[in-house]
Structure 1
Amino acid sequence: MKEIIQAAIEAGKEIMAIYETDFEVEYKEDESPLTIADQRSHEVIKQSLEENYPDIPILSEEGRHLTYEERKQWKEFWLVDPIDGTKEFIKKNGEFTVNIALIRDGKPVKGVVYAPALDDLYVAEEGKGAYKVSSVLSNTRKDYSLNAESLPLEKPNSHVAKVVASRSHMSDETKAFIEDLEDKYEKVETISAGSSLKLCLVAEGKADFYPRYAPTMEWDTGAGQAIVEASGGKVKVSGENTSLTYNKKNLINPWFLACKSNFE
């Protein structure tokens, strides 16, 4: 995992160098924002992964998007979002992340989420658990396992339901989900967060539910899903008992619900 972690951190450094300036914002065909930070982060990660894992293909939000015919035979690949939460980056609220996941047979088996403005790192590997490392850049030895905390950090409260929702995307369906919880629990608390930090909050135990009843792309969720599942949680397709899968013909995710394993 060291090479993946270091790639995310180096990308984070590039992002922060731009974050602290008056950068320009462009818009892609789908009207989503793009900055030079997205592009530089992509290049740093791409170079590192190609050097260390030359036989594993890369699917990045800011890279060339291959057709399904070209990628359907992939048994494993890197799934990358150079900046998840570009809107949060533009707002300068700190709630954006670098996401790198290894997908194997449609399932995320390794994940790294780094929030450079917060200097928080989340790491997961199937069968080995999920961990959080705070104040990453102050760790000069680069042995992040020394101050890694095993996830979840907090135990659930059977009387209180904590729901994390997007700062930028609160749909009517999400509001209805929260209202339904109010009939089941003594108290419902809503937490706002941006980017894949919402999934990380579920993994930490700071949130019990993350309903996402609005569009996301595969690169938005792969790394975060790896962290939730390695911490003992679930990321299920809404209304089904099946997990989100990857390298679909259509890279848009279905609606989903992330929750701790003791919640359904």
Structure 2
Amino acid sequence: MKNNTQSITDPIEIAIKAAISGGSAIMEIYRKPNFELEIKDDRSPLTEADTAANTLINQYLIETDIPIISEENKNLEYDDRKHWDKCWIVDPLDGTKEFIKRNGEFTVNIALCQKGRPVLGVIYVPVSRELYYADVTKKIAYKTILDEELNLTNELFAEEDRISMSKTSKALARVVGSRSHMNQDTLDFISSIESDFDEIEVVSKGSSLKFCLVAEGKADFYPRFAPTMEWDTAAGHAICNAVGLKVISQQTNEELPYNKENLLNPYFLVSQ
């Protein structure tokens, strides 16, 4: 991976390398005609790709001596976690249903959180080789595409890769929804903003790519009124925060917190 060692911080470089490595493991299994699939206790699917990616990502992140919360790890009880100042939050394969459907809309999500807030985020899309990464404290976010050898085509933090959101127009509001989840609460939200805009367009997308659409200015709202876990949102939250977007809990009207006692998120809305 090409990099500019003077302009990157070690955690971002490590997270990017971990995400790319995890993505490579996922693609090896994605290319198989068949892959192993099981159903977890919460009825969500688990593939051998989830497990393989998680193993590789953990190998990178464990070197930082920062504790890890991952969907596929056995996570510690809150009595232990509540003392953590920092932690990694990882989803080694976000969008397992999209992986099973083979539509390419799945991601690797890695975030570093400090005092319950995301401070950096990496989202990697293995099929398209798109890489999103952000430093929240510096308020910068980037998108680049890796070459076929999975190297960066530009140096990290290249100005030409920087992303920014566009302001919502009164003429058109683009609401990003899910490939796999569209419930009545979401439809009600769309109805609630119809009078504010000339036209409403629903943009469907799977996995954490929904956050990326809003961060890139390709959508204006992302209402998520269905269950998610912290690993589903932390990396996307970081990327959105870095470009000035808010990820607001519908429970508290404040930014989503992380490393909570219950790792289940409340419903939330991403908007300007």
TM-score (norm 1): 0.93
Deviation string 1:156-183 (CA, Å, 9 cap, x unpaired) is 3232100000111111000011111212
Number of the residue aligned with 1:167: 179
Partner of 2:144: 133
CA–CA separation in structure 2 for the residues paired with 1:239 and 1:67: 23
Separation (CA, whole Å) in 2 of partners of 1:187 and 1:238: 25
Confirm or deny that 1:20 pairs with 2:37: no
Count of paired positions: 258
The answer to whether the aligner puts 1:158 opposite 2:170 as a matched pair is: yes
Q: Distance in 1 between matches of 2:166 and 2:260?
A: 34
> How far apart, CA to CA, are the structure 2 residues paired with 1:154 and 1:120?
20
Is 1:214 aligned to residue 226 of structure 2? yes
**Equivalent residue, structure 2, for 1:96:** 106
Greater shift, 35-44 or 176-185, is seen at 176-185
Query: Deviation at 1:145?
Result: 3.5
Go from structure 1 to structure 2 and tell me whether the alpha carbon gap of 1:141 and 1:209 turns closer, same or farther (over 3 Å shift): closer
Q: Deviations over 1:50-96 (max 9, x none)?
A: 12x0x210111001111111211111000000000000000000000
Alpha-carbon RMSD across the aligned residues, in angstroms, is: 1.6
- Unaligned stretches of 5+ residues in structure 2: 1-11
Measured in 1, the distance between the counterparts of 2:160 and 2:17 equals 15
What letter matches 1:253 in structure 2?
N
Kept after mapping to 2: 8 A contact 1:81/1:98: yes
- Alpha-carbon contact 1:136-1:144 (below 8 Å) kept: no
Structure 2-normalised TM-score?
0.91
**1:240 to partner: Cα distance:** 4.4
Structure 1 residues not aligned, in runs of 5+? none
Contact 2:129 2:150 in 1 (8 A): no
CA distance in 2, matches of 1:10, 1:158: 42
- Residue 256 of structure 1: how far off its partner (Å): 0.2
> 1:175-208: per-residue Cα shift (whole Å, max 9, x none)?
0111112121000010000000001111001010
The one-letter code matched in structure 2 to 1:248 is K
Quote the Cα distance in structure 1 between the aligned partners of 2:20 and 2:148: 8
2:8 alignment partner in structure 1: none
Displacement of 1:141: 5.8
Taking a change above 3 Å as real, the CA distance of residues 147 and 254 of structure 1, as seen in their structure-2 partners, is: same
In 2 relative to 1, CA 249–136 (structure 1 residues): closer, same or farther, beyond 3 Å?
A: farther
Structure 2: distance between partners of 1:141 and 1:195: 23
Distance 1:251 1:106 in 2: 12
Verify the 8 A CA contact 2:224 2:267 in the aligned structure 1: yes
Partner of 1:34: 46
Q: Which amino acid aligns with 1:3?
A: I
Which whole-Å CA distance do the structure 2 matches of 1:80 and 1:141 have between them?
22
Of 77, 81, 92, the match for 2:87 = 77
Matches within 5 A, 1:112-123: 112-123=122-133
Instruction: Tell me the percent identity.
Output: 51
CA distance in 1, matches of 2:148, 2:161: 16
In the TM superposition, what is the alpha-carbon distance from 1:24 to its structure 2 partner? 1.9
Correspondence for 1:200: 212
Q: CA deviation at 1:136?
A: 4.8
Which amino acid letter does the alignment assign opposite residue 36 of structure 1?
E
Letter in 1 for 2:31: E
Contact residue 165 and residue 214 of structure 2 kept, 8 A: no
Q: Which residue of 1 aligns with 2:17?
A: 6
